[in-house]
Amino acid sequence: MRPGDLLRSSGPEVIAWAADYLERVGELPVLASVAPGDVAARLPACAPEEGEPFACVLRDLEEILMPGITHWQHPRYFAYFPSAACEPAVLAELLAAVLNSVALLWRTAPASTELEGVVAAWVADLLGLPAGWHGHIEDSASTATLAAAIAARGCTGRRVIVCSEQSHSSVAKAARMLDLELRVVECDDAFRMRVDGLRSAVSGAAMVVATVGTTACTAVDPVPEIAEACSAAGAWLHVDAAYAGAAMVCPEFRWAFAGVDRADSVVVNPHKWMLTPMDCSLLWSRRPEALRAAFSVVPEYLRTPDSEEALSLSEYGPALGRRFRSLKLWAVLRCLGRRGLQEHIRRSVALAEEFEGWVRADPAWEVVVERHFSLVVFRLRGDDDVNRKLLSACNEGGEVFLSHAVLGDRYCLRLAVGGLLTTLEDVRTAWRTLQRIGTELSQT
Ligand SMILES: Cc1ncc(COP(=O)(O)O)c(C=O)c1O
């Protein structure tokens, strides 16, 4: 076989499979219908001795793996937060794989390195973040927050992280991995960090994590007051806007980014609500020298004549080998533009708003917390147990997939909109399903 032969012979079939998948995904059960171990049990214990044709991979993807796929691209995927991949980004992933740039340092991947800085600056501009900040891509918000914590520990010499009781678990995980003390500040009735609580916790803190769009209910912490407290205490302020940050592309949501310009670092996940496939998490910092001081270890074998003037992003985060993630994000930004991203955000929010209206109009149900973005947190009036049963019956049906949160000791359901294929009819289907099961449960 000559180079490129397999791409030419099997490529069209793979692309056709991918295109068909997007057409038919709405007809599949959203949640994988397998039990733990089922997929592995159908696969051989060892790799084949001799290579097989690629057609075997495609066949087994369809027959063995597909039943074990939970479909994040499904129009009725409403669980956790959305992670939808648009077609330009999918094609760019193929190109990134064939180029296989490995950005150990600038010299090994100049285009990948420089495009990463450019797309980080483009997204900062789209979201209204200050110009001139350092920006790069990590695999996940968890890694970005860990990196910020390491930088904060390094430049403050302190060993305490402060967050709220609604902060994402990645903050607690970072503290545990770094063996740092975690101080957890209480929230107010709207699930925002209490600033009076922060004022007594911030003394001696290396880093405070404020969240714009908390995981359970998209609460927005009072960042201006938190920034003030951090500045008085000499603590690093990290803003976690993993999900909601994407909404800042629309001016009407920018209120939620008030004070974020005072942060030392900010994380937003394009792989959540910005139509970029996993994984792609943007970390910006106005203190790149602190990241570099924490992460720059350049052994002799990686020294090059251009080391002085060339930026190597591996010196700003935990990984050495970095893949060409900026290509897919660039494709999203080029092919959708500001307008396309705004349309996606506004459409998701409008659908969530419709759903919220139906919940509010039905006296058997309640909306639990004010909706800011595309997540509705709600419950059937009744006890936690009935809501638990409701969610599991709803998800078992295969037509929709929702998740839950516990807020103020109450078990709640979460419907998060953000899929590229989701229509009003899909949201209506979710509501009808919930109402039907809710009525059945109320009668038993
Ligand atoms: C607010 C917030 N921060 C961080 C994360 C973690 O994101 P990742 O999976 O990229 O580590 C999540 C995940 O949902 C989140 O909601």
pLDDT in tens, the chain (444 residues): 899 999 999 999 999 999 999 999 999 999 998 999 999 999 999 999 999 999 999 999 999 999 999 999 999 999 999 999 999 999 999 999 999 999 999 999 999 999 999 999 999 999 999 999 999 999 999 999 999 999 999 999 999 999 999 999 999 999 999 999 999 999 999 999 999 999 999 999 999 999 999 999 999 999 999 999 999 999 999 999 999 999 999 999 999 999 999 999 999 999 999 999 999 999 999 999 999 999 999 999 998 887 767 899 999 999 999 999 999 999 999 999 999 999 999 999 999 999 999 999 999 999 999 999 999 999 999 999 999 999 999 999 999 999 999 999 999 999 999 999 999 999 999 999 999 999 999 887
Distance CA 245, CA 253 (A): 9
Q: What single DSSP character describes residue 295?
A: H
Distance 142 CA to ligand 1 centre (A): 6
Distance 2 CA to ligand 1 centre (A): 43
| pLDDT score for 305 | 83
Closest ligand 1 atom to the C-alpha of 215?
A: 16
CA atoms within 13 A on the CB side of 118: 14
Ligand 1 mutation pick, 138, 142, 271, max ligand atoms within 8 A of CB: 142
**What single letter denotes the amino acid at residue 248?**
M
Write the CB contacts of 203 (distance below 8 Å, at least 6 apart in sequence).
233
Distance 288 CA to ligand 1 centre (A): 22
The helix or strand, by DSSP H or E, that contains position 285, with its residue range, turns out to be strand 281-285
DSSP 352-416: HHHHHHHHHH-TTEEE-S---SSEEEEEESS-HHHHHHHHHHHHHTSS-B-EEEEETTEEEEEEE
| pLDDT score for 304 | 86
Ligand 1 mutation pick, 77, 215, 217, 374, max ligand atoms within 8 A of CB: 215
Ligand 1 mutation pick, 269, 282, 374, 377, max ligand atoms within 8 A of CB: 269
Burial class (CB in 10 A: 0-12, 13-18, 19+), 14: middle
Closest ligand 1 atom to the C-alpha of 211?
A: 1
Nearest CA to ligand 1 atom 16: 215
Q: Which residue is it, tokens 């290509």? A: 327
Residues with CB under 6 A from ligand 1: 80-81, 140-142, 168, 170, 211, 213-215, 240, 242-243, 269, 281
Q: Can you state the percent helix, strand and coil of the chain, rounding each to 5?
A: 50, 15, 35
Distance CA 276, CA 269 (A): 9
Distance CA 176, CA 268 (A): 22
| pLDDT score for 33 | 87
Distance 198 CA to ligand 1 centre (A): 22
Omega of the bond prior to 279 within 30 degrees of 0, cis? Answer: yes
Distance 3 CA to ligand 1 centre (A): 40
Nearest CA to ligand 1 atom 7: 141
How far is residue 107 CA from its own chain's centroid? 30
Distance 241 CA to ligand 1 centre (A): 9
Distance 36 CA to ligand 1 centre (A): 24
Distance 53 CA to ligand 1 centre (A): 38
| pLDDT score for 310 | 87
Ligand 1 mutation pick, 177, 240, 282, 403, max ligand atoms within 8 A of CB: 240
